[in-house]
A and B are shown apart, each in its own frame.
Chain A
């Protein structure tokens, strides 16, 4: 149980275009979803937290107009990277937690590798 999927797994886009990444909880209702960014050989950096039906809460230094997060249902959250630039190239990982779940009950997706050319 507790499976989280991400789509696409890899995406290459041109500079200036927008890219949407989907995160789905397949077998549980995810009241909270988290979006992380990971650079090579570095740790996961939390970008934002989203609760179903609410606006996302962004971490300090993360541009909310650039990284649009939507959590419209209990099984789906999307991250849209708008007007992508090469410096946005990274590994994006989502995680999901159900209602009342403890901090360790956060299940991670397989990640999406974004390359902006």
Chain B
């Protein structure tokens, strides 16, 4: 079983829609949860991180963690074509474990 499971999509939404991305994880040791954005043929870029259950907002982005169900989510409000990318969830304390990444396309 992979430590982090993520539906690879792809996901296509119209501009302005809410993008909802989800991951599940195993191993409940204390750790951080991260969301990265990766454009084609580029390295990942950290979007958000959190270590506790609940919601964390940053502009149009909201990260949600539910430790009881081992579920992490990322919501993107008012999506823009520039949000088109692959989104990777990750968890870890020292070393990171990544999900497979979900490819998102926001249609203008």
Q: Is the CB of B43 within 8 A of A110?
A: yes
Residue of B with least CB distance to A104 = B49
B88 neighbours in A (Cβ, 8 Å):
43-44
Q: Is the CB of A108 within 8 A of B44?
A: yes
Q: How many angstroms between the C-alpha atoms of A74 and B103 in the bound complex?
A: 34
B98 neighbours in A (Cβ, 8 Å):
43-44
Q: How many angstroms between the C-alpha atoms of A32 and B107 in the bound complex?
A: 39
A103 neighbours in B (Cβ, 8 Å):
31-32, 34, 92-96
Q: How many angstroms between the C-alpha atoms of A91 and B41 in the bound complex?
A: 8
Q: A113 and B32 in contact (CB under 8 A), knowing A43-B88, A43-B101, A103-B96?
A: no
Q: Is the CB of A106 within 8 A of B41?
A: no
B residues with CB within 8 A of A:
4, 6, 8, 31-32, 34, 36, 41-46, 49, 88, 92-101, 103
Q: Is the CB of A49 within 8 A of B100?
A: no
8 A Cβ contacts from A10-45 to B: 34, 41-44
Q: Is the CB of B41 within 8 A of A93?
A: no
The residue in B32, B44, B46, B101 that gathers the most chain A C-beta atoms within 10 A of its C-beta is B44
| Extra contacts besides A34-B96, A108-B36 (13): CB < 8 Å | A41-B103, A42-B101, A43-B88, A43-B99, A44-B44, A46-B97, A95-B43, A103-B95, A104-B32, A107-B46, A110-B42, A111-B41, A111-B42
